Structure 1
């Protein structure tokens, strides 16, 4: 058992970050191996724009559950690469609608087969190791738990009640 395994929930965030970084690194390497200049961090925007003609930064932020500034920064990065563009919404001049450029649509056509291959490869890996099939349901459950409960408050209550010495000790 390694250090991370032995520390359990104390390092859950670190383990999930390491797993995520490893997964994204492999995905990026798959794109590179295919000669496709695409970063896995762009996936949510490309996926959503593949299903919608245009979305506002607010809609992208809400659907990807990231902050508005984080979504805006990603869109700025994609604009600088000429993959997306923005235009003022005809109905509401305050809203900027994000769309794929021609270059972005061409890239989308290149990456969609990779998405299919990712799903097939992951299905194969899960089939070869059935215990791994529990990962996504477990992550879903933890996300739900964290949305319904404040972990920080729960930790604070444990500190104030259960772990402090009694007054007469």
Structure 2
């Protein structure tokens, strides 16, 4: 067990961030190795647009759970690369609809096989489909728990409890 592992929950965020950065870096390398210009940060929008003709920026926000400014920035970036188009909603002039451009659709055809290869590789790395599914289920449970609890408030409550054995401090 390395030092980080020995600290348990005290470094959970750091470990998850390191794991995420490692994963995203490897996936970006795989895209580059195949000559595909695609950033992992684009994935949520691209995937949603591959399943929907168009979506409003608000719908993107809700689906990928980011703020409106973050979604707008991502759409602006993709638009500047010529990968998405935006139009005003015919139903509500305040809404911007986002869809893949012809160039975005061409890129999508190249990356769909990559997504399948990524999924299969991650299942292999996780120890097979059953183990990978179990890991993802546990991750979902932890995410839900974190969303349902005010962690900062819980920490404050713990600080108010009677002093526990602190012989290691």
Fold-level match, TM-score > 0.5? yes
Q: Decide which moves more: 119-128 or 20-29.
A: 119-128
Aligned to 2:52: 52
1:113 aligns with 2:113: yes
Which whole-Å CA distance do the structure 1 matches of 2:67 and 2:99 have between them?
19
Which whole-Å CA distance do the structure 2 matches of 1:149 and 1:142 have between them?
11
Deviation at 1:129?
Answer: 10
Deviant stretches of 4+, over 3 Å: 127-134
Deviation at 1:99?
Answer: 0.7
Say if 1:127 and 1:34 are closer, same or farther in 2 by CA, change over 3 A. same
Give the 5 Å matches for 1:122-133: 122-127=122-127
SS of residue paired to 1:75 = helix
Deviation at 1:128?
Answer: 6.0
Say if 1:152 and 1:54 are closer, same or farther in 2 by CA, change over 3 A. same
Aligned to 1:98: 98
CA RMSD of aligned residues (A): 1.8
Number of residue pairs matched by the alignment = 164
TM-score, normalization: structure 2? 0.91
For structure 1, list consecutive stretches of 5 or more residues without a partner in the other structure.
165-169
TM-score, normalization: structure 1? 0.91
Deviation at 1:69?
Answer: 1.0
Deviation at 1:130?
Answer: 7.3
Question: Does the 8 Å contact 2:24/2:40 carry over to 1?
Answer: yes
SS of residue paired to 2:36 = coil
